[in-house]
Amino acid sequence: MPGWGGTLESTETASAPSFPRPRVSGEDLEIRRLLRLARVHLGMELAAVVEVIRDQVVLRAVDCGQTTLNFLLDQRLPAEGSYTQRILAGTVPAHLADTHWHPVTRDLPATRAHGVGSYAAAPIGAGLLLICASGVGTPGLDERATQFLALLAEVVNEQVRRGPLGESGRIHEALDGARFRMVYQPIVNLEHGGVVGYEALARFDDPGFPTPAHAFEAASRAGVGVQLELLTMRSALQQLPAMPAGGRLNVNLSAEALMTPSVVELVLRHAHYPLSVEITEHTQVRDYASLSEPLEHLRRAGVEIVVDDAGAGFANFVHLLKLRPSVMKLDIEIVRGVDQDPMRLALTRSLVGFALEAKVALVAEGIETDGELQTLRSLGVPFGQGFIVGRPADLPAA
């Protein structure tokens, strides 16, 4: 039903939504349980959570009984003139037992074309609405319905704010409006302090994502993780012509992204620049055999393969053996306090030896104190990055 951000087509036969259907989490299931409670209690055919994002209406969750009013999750449709927009703006009542008797709703396209017979709604939060609807009139539907929905909306709001349903809208906004910025942290030669490259890092302005990891994890839960990685990488690659001579650019990609042809094709189109791909831990590697083919294409084109978090555990050592990187990054938990902890010191010394024998460059991450820096130098760690040697910044400033 376009008026509320869905369609009248069956979800099996309708065209694909703009983004993949989000994964169902515990919070999602709780919201759907509340929607079913609302639908059954009011004797209506459908209950849903819908959201207005700028000029579009998006369905976030739905519970549907026997009805022709069916929806596609995350289908995006114009907000202008929709029931959702009008209810939130207060230009139509919060409930109507029969839409054909109201002077505004009887003439709305959604009413005429799709037979919206009755509805009741209550706001959840900014731009979010809890709504129940039927394709026929619902006798006896009055203000008690909206009072009941208002109570449920308070509970749904708690689930939305702390769960991936709320994250989904913010992530889609980041994708649609590029609401992020790229910064570049220097990687330096610890012996003489010269910059040998920069790691491209995404920063999100949304307070709901206090760190980039929160944003990428939320995108993965919403089923758009690779799209977000592709968008941030494309932004970073645009800076390649501005890289200082001799410096490499590190871009971060998950294993899932590296097994996506469009991602690899984009990297290969920029392989004539000094470029490194750092395999992140956003998603676990489940199929090393499938990952080996795109990595081999990148190697042949001259792209360095970098593995993060070396020394973080047994699984990470297997990761090294399977991926055969040309660069490995010493895990920040080993670097932190390496000048004061004999076990960290011993582990770092062993990894320096491993890197030398395996002919792999070693980069220490997260160096923050002069003591850590001097210790890493004395152990022979060749490269490093961290606040003490260079903070993330715009590329010219860096």
User: pLDDT tens digits, residue range 150-208?
Assistant: 999 888 877 665 555 455 556 666 665 557 889 999 999 999 989 999 999 998 876 66
User: Under CATH, which architecture does the 2-169 domain have?
Assistant: 2-Layer Sandwich (3.30)
Distance CA 305, CA 279 (A): 8
pLDDT in tens, 123-141: 987 678 899 998 889 998 9
CATH superfamily name and code, 179-384: EAL domain (3.20.20.450)
The confidence score (pLDDT) of residue 375 equals: 96
The confidence score (pLDDT) of residue 282 equals: 55
Report whether pLDDT(34) > 60. Answer: yes
Q: Measuring CA to CA, which residue among 172, 140, 165, 217 is closest to residue 34?
A: 165
Paired tokens of 73: 């999750």
Mean pLDDT value across the chain:
81
Max mean pLDDT among 60-64, 80-84, 331-335 falls in 331-335
Residue with tokens 């759907």: 32
Q: Are 293 and 258 in contact (CB under 8 A)?
A: no
Burial class (CB in 10 A: 0-12, 13-18, 19+), 284: exposed
Q: Are 153 and 49 in contact (CB under 8 A)?
A: no
Contacts of 63 (CB under 8 A, 6+ apart): 32, 35, 36, 38, 39, 46, 47, 48
Return the minimum-mean-pLDDT range out of 48-62, 157-171, 216-230, 309-323.
157-171
Paired tokens of 41: 């209690």
Segment 86-102 mean pLDDT: 90
The confidence score (pLDDT) of residue 114 equals: 65
Report whether pLDDT(59) > 80. Answer: no
The confidence score (pLDDT) of residue 8 equals: 31
Segment 78-101 mean pLDDT: 86
The confidence score (pLDDT) of residue 249 equals: 95
Report whether pLDDT(45) > 70. Answer: yes
Q: Are 4 and 83 in contact (CB under 8 A)?
A: yes
The confidence score (pLDDT) of residue 20 equals: 33
Segment 302-325 mean pLDDT: 77
Paired tokens of 137: 């009139």
The confidence score (pLDDT) of residue 103 equals: 87
Segment 245-269 mean pLDDT: 91
Residue with tokens 């929905």: 149
Distance CA 305, CA 297 (A): 11
The confidence score (pLDDT) of residue 188 equals: 95
DSSP structure string for 286-320: --HHHHHHHHHHHHHTT-EEEEEEETS-HHHHHHH
Max mean pLDDT among 116-120, 242-246, 279-283, 358-362 falls in 358-362
Paired tokens of 212: 């980039």
> Where does the pLDDT of residue 265 fall: very low under 50, low under 70, confident under 90, or very high at 90 and above?
very high
Distance CA 55, CA 80 (A): 7
Report whether pLDDT(321) > 80. Answer: yes
Q: Are 149 and 50 in contact (CB under 8 A)?
A: no
Taking each helix axis as running N to C, give the angle between helix 261-269 and helix 225-237, from 0 to 180 degrees, rounded to the nearest 10.
Answer: 10
- Going from N- to C-terminal start, the domains of the chain cover 2-169, 179-384
